[in-house]
Structure 1
Amino acid sequence: MADTTLDAIDQRILGALERDGRLSMRQLAEQVHISRANAYARVERLTESGVITGFSAVVDPVARGLKTSAYVTMHVNQPDWRDIHAELRTLEGVEHIALVGGEFDVVLLVRARDNADLRRLVLDQIQGIHGVISTRTLLLFEESSPTRHGAQLPGSSA
């Protein structure tokens, strides 16, 4: 990523796109109070510099049929981390992977159709990876995302 200094307009652009990545350049320019040409140029610069890494849809996991979610903490053999990471990335249901410092080595967010599917994912696939020493599974009962400006994730209740 190139060294990019973000000014107040860049921050407003990023905030608007985080709230709605489907904004047209006209809508974005209107929201941020800049010209369309300036919006195009800034979004292009933010993308080329690696600040914006992509655009995606936020999908309700429950509506998608993934009714069971959990955080899985892992202890791993440190020298095997790169291979473990590569294998975790191939597993269907692993939504997020984080190498962390502290009590655990790795934290995963996993989603499954049901408890049986979660059991298969954790006990058969994840624990079957060479270099995984142990796991602990924490079931999610409810979730929300502060990065969505206080908005709840679809399918969650408050």
Structure 2
Amino acid sequence: MDDVKNRVELDDVDRRILAELTGDGRVSMRVLAERLNLSRAHTYTRVDRLRDSGVIERFTVQVDHAVAGLGTSAFIAMSIRQDSWRSVSDRLRSMEFVDHFSLLGGDFDVLVLVRTPDNETLRHVVLEGLQALDGVRSTRTWLIFDEARGGLG
């Protein structure tokens, strides 16, 4: 319920700002204002409002994982005991090579994105890491052959 109360209404200008910053989070306010055909002061105000309201959580980098030595990626779906989400998520937060994970509704309970240097390391992460977690009932692995980002990612 809090998410609905704290929701921010975005207009077209906000969405254009987010699209530009998603594409290049290091763009200067001057250049951003020029791209959006806004004044620099108005652009600062808009970006500050998006940050203050929590729409923009932080500025970050997008890593080319293959260049960084993590050329093998996979999604691993996990079925877990229903009472083990907290302990499983705590362990996933600190597990090496785990890039992202989500609690799901549906056939599987957790989806984990793993990025490793090679298949041998991936095998180790799945068989000796994820499957060994207390509460994990089963896993299913899908290798990622290629990736792309959508408009906001």
Task: Please say if residues 18 and 152 of structure 2, whose CA atoms lie closer than 8 Å, have aligned partners that are also in contact.
Answer: no
Is 1:133 equivalent to 2:137 in the alignment?
yes
Which residue among 76, 79, 88 is the counterpart of 2:80? 76
Q: Distance in 2 between matches of 1:131 and 1:55?
A: 35
In the alignment, the residues of structure 2 paired with residue 63 and residue 115 of structure 1 have an alpha-carbon distance, to the nearest angstrom, of 16
Q: How big is the shift at 1:148? A: 6.0
Specify the alignment match of 1:20 in structure 2.
Answer: 24
Q: Give RMSD over aligned pairs.
A: 1.5
Q: Does 1:87 align with 2:54?
A: no
**Aligned partners of 2:7 and 2:122: how far apart in 1?**
41
Separation of aligned partners in 2, 1:127 and 1:147: 34
Report the alpha carbon displacement of residue 147 of structure 1 after superposing the two structures with TM.
Answer: 3.2
Distance (Å, rounded) in 2 between the aligned partners of 1:130 and 1:137: 19
CA distance in 2 between counterparts of 1:39 and 1:146 reads 24
- Give unpaired runs (5+ residues) of structure 1: 150-158
Aligned equivalents of 1:84 and 1:147: distance in 2?
31
Identify the match of residue 37 of structure 1 among 35, 41, 49. Answer: 41
State how far apart, in whole Å, the 1-side matches of 2:107 and 2:8 are: 34
Tell me the alpha carbon deviations over residues 109-142 of structure 1, each in whole angstroms, 9 at most, x when there is no partner. Answer: 1100111111111111111111111111111122
Q: TM-score w.r.t. structure 1 length?
A: 0.88
Shift of 1:51: 0.6
Q: Work out whether 1:53 is the aligned partner of 2:57.
A: yes
| Stretches of structure 2 lacking an aligned partner (at least 5 in a row) | none
| Deviation digits for residues 94-113 of structure 1 (CA, Å, limit 9, x no counterpart) | 11111111111111111001
Structure 1 residue 42 displacement after superposition: 1.1
Once residues 148 and 42 of structure 1 are traced to their aligned partners in structure 2, the CA distance between those partners, rounded to angstroms, is: 18
How many percent of aligned residue pairs carry the same amino acid? 47
In the superposition, the TM-score normalised over structure 2's length comes to: 0.91
